[in-house]
Amino acid sequence: MNTILPNAVRVVSILALCLASLSGPSWVSPLWAATTREDLEARVRTEYPTLESFYYDLHRHPELSFREVHTSAKVAAELRQAGFETTAGVGGNGVVGVLRNGSGPTVLVRTDLDALPVKELTGLPYASRTRATNDVGLEVDVMHACGHDMHMAVFVGTARLLAQMKERWHGTLVMIGQPAEERGKGARQMLADGLFQRFPKPEFCLALHVSPDLAAGSMGVAEGYAMANVDSVDITIRGVGGHGAWPHRTKDPVVLAAQTVMALQTIVSREVDPLESAVVTVGSIHGGTKHNIIPDEVKLQLTVRSFTDEVRSHTLEAIRRIVRGQAISAGIPEERLPLVKMAEDEFCPATYNQPELTRRVAGALRQMLGEKHVVSRRAAMGGEDFSEYGRTSEKIPICMLWLGSVEPERVAESERTGQSLPALHSSLYRPVPEPTMRTGILAMVAAVLNLAGHP
């Protein structure tokens, strides 16, 4: 009896592995999956103390976009220590680590490096007190208010574990630390600096982002569109200024600006298909200097969000048309018609999680974390320049995952009371290190092993 049972287990395992070989790398073997999970969890426990210290250091010492010099050096040092061929200074402060492990697929894993000009108010013992000079020479507070420090800690943990487990996968692993995500330019800069020419071109690109409303210990998956196109639009509405007591002798740009703001709201409500999505938000309006002076101009700043290229093009063209039409109806002469500028260098394309890749990764996460810890997420109107890696001429499949980062009891209380949790970019946002970091590492390693692993 003791001999027959082990033999039966071996036969079942061999059959399961044969099935796996027919459909590509996939954890259809419960025995292998359980062994891998136990191994990974043990390795994470071993690495966790130093990764937590690494996270605290990053959180205390954030750096603004394009200025991630020390952050980049720390990430590069970690990759070198893990055994990666490491190159710094790619696309500015970008870092690329390459680990070759025989023939097989090339998988890229990306983290972002930069922080935000936000004053931290979390009260954490490791809170940032950093101040830095911004692009226009002003001294500002700096905080990792978007969780990029957590991304980096997970990234380094993932690199360490995969370097330790080379017998479990084959192919090439490309780990990149990307600068200037918050400015929407870092990915383009790395690509322009030859990311896919100087280094192994990936067959799959993976990344994750912390979620401020998903319980720590869980992962969120969005198939298809995950994040939006982001456009910034600057509008200068020009009038004819004068004395506030004689408005009939002016062309008041303040009134015209107010009419324009309201007219812009009809784009989404009356021009975009109700089954599509778009946002037109006027985030800034400035004009005038004194109570009794009608100014010559008013400036507006807009953020415009969409998913498809078609909706984006229509919305931007509608903005131009409405702004011009409102000015003409107000009697503004041709030479004083509004100026509308699309900030092309700040454009961030929509993140589209390639469905087949996303389903495959989601399956690996469920095997690793359990069904209840992997949830479906709707697309969000935030933006992420990780999308750029999937929009090159090669059309490489990409997938960005959501990493739960808030204590489960706080999430439950928020759902019960309707009180919102601190959002990304908030001075109060604080991801809980454990189990956020552990979950992120397990998820990313599981995803890479699914794509490049073998039983």
Find the CATH number of the domain harbouring 123. 3.40.630.10
Given this model, what pLDDT does residue 345 score? Answer: 85
More confident residue, 115 or 36: 115
- Do 223 and 160 share a structural domain? yes
55 band by pLDDT with thresholds 50, 70 and 90: very high
Mind listing the pLDDT tens digit for each residue in 243-268?
999 999 999 999 999 999 999 999 99
* Same domain for 118 and 82: yes
Share of the chain above pLDDT 70, in %: 92
- Please give the pLDDT value at position 31: 52
How far apart, in whole angstroms, are the C-alpha atoms of residue 172 and residue 154? 19
Going by C-beta distance under 8 Å and a sequence separation of 6 or more, which residues neighbour residue 319? Answer: 233, 235, 264, 267, 280, 302, 304, 340
CATH code of the domain covering residue 320:
3.30.70.360
Instruction: Quick: pLDDT tens for 301-350.
Output: 999 999 999 999 999 999 999 999 999 999 999 999 999 999 988 899 99
Is 9 inside a domain boundary? no
Domain of residue 184 covers: 31-227+350-452
Instruction: Tell me the C-alpha distance between 1 and 82, whole Å.
Output: 46
Q: What is the pLDDT of residue 17?
A: 40
**Whether 50 and 151 share a structural domain:** yes
Do 325 and 374 reside in the same domain of the chain? no
How does DSSP assign 183-205, residue by residue? TT-HHHHHHHTTHHHHSPPPSEE
Angle at 230 between CA 225 and CA 236, to 5 degrees: 155
Same domain, 273 and 255: yes
Per-residue pLDDT, averaged over 417-446, amounts to 97
pLDDT at 7 over 70: no
pLDDT of residue 33: 65
What 3-state DSSP class applies to 140? strand
Report if residue 300 sits inside a domain.
Answer: yes
pTM of the entire predicted model: 0.90
Cβ neighbors of 258 (< 8 A, separation 6 or more) are none
Phi, psi of 274, rounded to the nearest 5 degrees: -55, -20
**DSSP H or E stretch at residue 49:** helix 30-60
- Res 26 pLDDT > 60: no
Q: Is the dihedral of CA 86, 92, 94, 98 positive or negative?
A: negative
Q: Do residues 57 and 199 both lie within one domain?
A: yes
Confidence (pLDDT) at 14: 39
- Helix (H), strand (E) at residue 342: strand 339-342
Burial class of 440 by CB neighbour count within 10 A (0 to 12, 13 to 18, 19+): buried
Considering the domain architecture, whether residues 324 and 362 belong to the same structural domain is answered as: no
pLDDT of residue 346: 85
Least confidently predicted of 4-8, 68-72, 138-142, 403-407: 4-8
Query: Which among 326, 346, 366 is the end of a domain?
Result: 346
Domain assignment present for residue 7? The answer is no
Mean pLDDT of 355-361: 98
Same domain, 338 and 361: no
What percent of the chain is modeled with pLDDT above 90? 90
Same-domain status, 75 and 213:
yes
| pLDDT tens digits along 361-420 | 999 999 999 999 999 999 999 999 999 999 998 899 999 999 999 999 999 999 999 999
Task: Please tell me the distance from the alpha carbon of residue 115 to that of residue 64, in angstroms, as a whole number.
Answer: 5
Q: What is the pLDDT of residues 201-236, one digit of tens each?
A: 999 999 999 999 999 999 999 999 999 999 999 999
End-to-end CA distance of the chain: 28
- Phi/psi for 381 (5° steps) reads -85, 5
Residue 22: CB partners within 8 Å, gap ≥ 6? none
The pLDDT of residue 57 is above 50:
yes
Torsion from C-alpha of 9, 15, 19, 20, nearest 10 degrees: 50
| CA nearest neighbour of 182 among 143, 215, 220 | 143
pLDDT confidence of residue 394: 86
* Domain end position, chosen among 346, 379, 412: 346
